[in-house]
Amino acid sequence: MREGWRKITLNRPEKLNSFTVELHRQLAAALDEAAADETCRAVLLTGAGRGFCAGQDLEEIGSEPSAVGDLLREHYNPLIRRIRALPKPVVCAVNGVAAGAGANLAFACDIVLAARRAKFIQAFAKIALVPDSGGTWFLPRLVGEARARALALTGEAVSAEQAESWGMIWRAVDDEELASEAEKLLAHLATQPTAALGLIKRALLASASNTLDAQLDLEAELQEAAAGMPDYAEGIAAFAEKRPARFTGQGA
């Protein structure tokens, strides 16, 4: 635990941090701990070694079609939902290749930084599978239909710089600066109004399926909740006193 934030490292570097059931269990437990820990105000997800995550461990994948579906229902889908629902920012530092579910795991995070050596690959079609872990939902929203279709159908790799210029990720940084840039961002997020950031995540998640009318109503509801929190009073006071705000991150 750092000052106000936690780092979670996918740690199977010899297999490019590809997912086994055990790795899923470890990651789910780490995310749940971060969610429950009130002193943790932001989460950093990264990978050990030269890769970020190569998706499903293809040596552990079941041969039964139902086993493949069950793995998604039991592990990948809850993972993506967990990250989206976590009421604090999740930053992903993509330290190397992100393939298959590994790429889509990164896209589920709130802010994605990537080392220039990183690349994003929708590897699924290459093994005759369908993009999962939210890939068919994230991609069109991030890069538009034309690019989403081509990437999903060809499995072509996208460099970190291309991903940044297409709006697929927040920023590509020099390889040797990824860790320090990520830590700087986490240190900043850990001083911010965490509960309000959690409400921002809720609003953005809901916007994907809401009408404008419904979203306007939700914004009013969430704004009322935010305005009832002590950090709002602190933000206003800090503005009036021309000083930096000292947010606690706590809810009402």
CB of 57 to ligand T3D, least distance (A): 4
Q: Which residues contact 177 (CB under 8 A, 6 or more apart)?
A: none
Residue 233 CB, shortest distance to ligand T3D, in Å, is: 46
Please enumerate, as own/partner, the contacts of 179-186 that have beta carbons within 8 Å and a separation of 24 or more: 179/46, 179/93, 181/93, 181/113, 182/44, 182/46, 182/91, 182/93, 182/113, 183/2, 183/44, 185/91, 185/111, 185/113, 186/2, 186/5, 186/7, 186/42, 186/44, 186/91
Number of chain positions touching ligand T3D (CB under 6 A): 23
122 binds ligand T3D (CB under 6 A): no
Residue 140 or residue 155: which is nearer to ligand T3D going by CB? 155
In the complex with ligand T3D, the residue whose CB is nearer, 57 or 181, is 57
C-alpha 217/C-alpha 141 separation (Å) is 23
Q: Is residue 131 involved in binding ligand T3D (CB under 6 A)? A: no
Rounded CA-CA distance 33/24 in Å is 14
Beta carbons within 8 Å of 139's beta carbon, 6+ residues apart: 107, 122, 131, 147, 148, 151, 152
Q: Least CB distance from residue 150 to ligand T3D, whole Å? A: 18
130 interacts with ligand T3D by CB under 6 A: no
Q: Answer yes or no whether residue 112 interacts with ligand T3D by CB under 6 A.
A: no
- Residue 16 interacts with ligand T3D (CB under 6 A)? yes
Selected range binding ligand T3D among 85-93, 126-134, 188-196, 228-236, rule: CB under 6 A: 126-134
- Using CB under 6 A as the binding rule, the residues of this chain from 53 to 72 that contact ligand T3D are 54-59, 61, 68, 71-72
Side chain identity at residue 183, one-letter code: E
83 binds ligand T3D (CB under 6 A): no
Given the rule CB under 6 A, which residues bind ligand T3D? 15-16, 18, 54-59, 61, 68, 71-72, 97, 99-101, 121, 123-124, 127, 129, 132
